[in-house]
Each structure stands twice: as structure tokens, then as C-alpha cells.
């Protein structure tokens, strides 16, 4: 599945052109791509929104945290992530909001 990741990101980029728009609003989940070992979460924000490979983000629905994800592949307007820790009895859905996880000092 990871070998197909560049193709999937290219397809999402073609279907959802958002260059420059991602930095102006929160990121959202575009799709969840099931895979044999780990599901990929496709986002409508990437480098242009300040995301970088290895960052951890929270997936939110309203005020509820649905999961934490790890950014693994980025493009200027899109990115792909792996699910780190899903909430019990919750599933990531297209349209869920994504926020960068910040550590408090």
C-alpha cells in the first residue's frame, strides 16, 4: 500500500486543488484509505499549512478527540498520515478537523 502513496496523493491533488487555501483554515480529513497493515488518512493541508513529516496531529469532531495521527508524506496542499491512537469506538471520517498537537511547557 505504501508504494501506491505517491499515486494516491497525486489523485487527491488533482481532485481537490487547494494550493494556498490550506493555510487560511484548519485542515480536514479528505479520505481514509484502508490498507493491510495500517490505514492512511489523507488531509487537505500540507507544507503550505506548516505541516512537516513526523508531526503528530489530533483528529477532532466537534470538541471530541477521535484519534492522533502521524504525518508521513507531504505535498504543498495535501498530506498523508498514519493513525497512532484511535479513541475507543470511534472512526475517522471525511470532514473531521485536524489540529497540530502542541506540547505544553
CB atoms within 10 A of CB 74: 22
- CA-nearest of 90, 32, 27, 36 to 55 is 27
Give the three cell numbers for residue 38. Answer: 495500517
Give the pLDDT confidence of 13-65 residue by residue, as tens digits. 655 554 444 344 679 999 998 877 788 999 999 998 889 999 999 999 999 99
Q: CATH says 2-100 is which class?
A: mainly beta
Domain boundaries, the chain: 2-100
CB atoms within 10 A of CB 97: 16
pTM of the full structure: 0.74
Give the burial class of 7: count Cβ atoms within 10 A of its Cβ; 0-12 exposed, 13-18 middle, 19 or more buried.
Answer: exposed
Q: Which carries the bigger pLDDT value, residue 34 or residue 69?
A: 69
Amino acid at each position: 500500500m505504501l508504494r501506491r502513496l505517491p499515486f494516491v496523493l497525486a489523485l487527491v491533488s488533482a481532485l481537490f486543488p487547494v494550493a494556498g487555501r490550506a493555510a487560511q483554515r484548519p485542515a480536514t480529513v479528505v479520505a481514509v484509505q484502508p490498507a493491510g497493515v495500517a490505514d492512511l488518512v489523507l488531509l487537505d493541508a500540507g507544507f503550505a499549512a506548516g505541516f512537516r513529516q513526523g508531526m503528530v496531529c489530533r483528529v477532532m469532531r466537534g470538541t471530541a478527540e477521535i484519534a492522533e495521527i502521524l504525518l508521513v508524506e507531504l505535498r504543498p496542499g495535501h498530506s498523508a498520515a498514519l493513525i497512532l491512537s484511535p479513541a475507543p469506538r470511534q472512526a475517522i471520517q471525511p470532514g473531521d478537523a485536524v489540529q497540530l498537537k502542541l506540547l505544553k511547557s
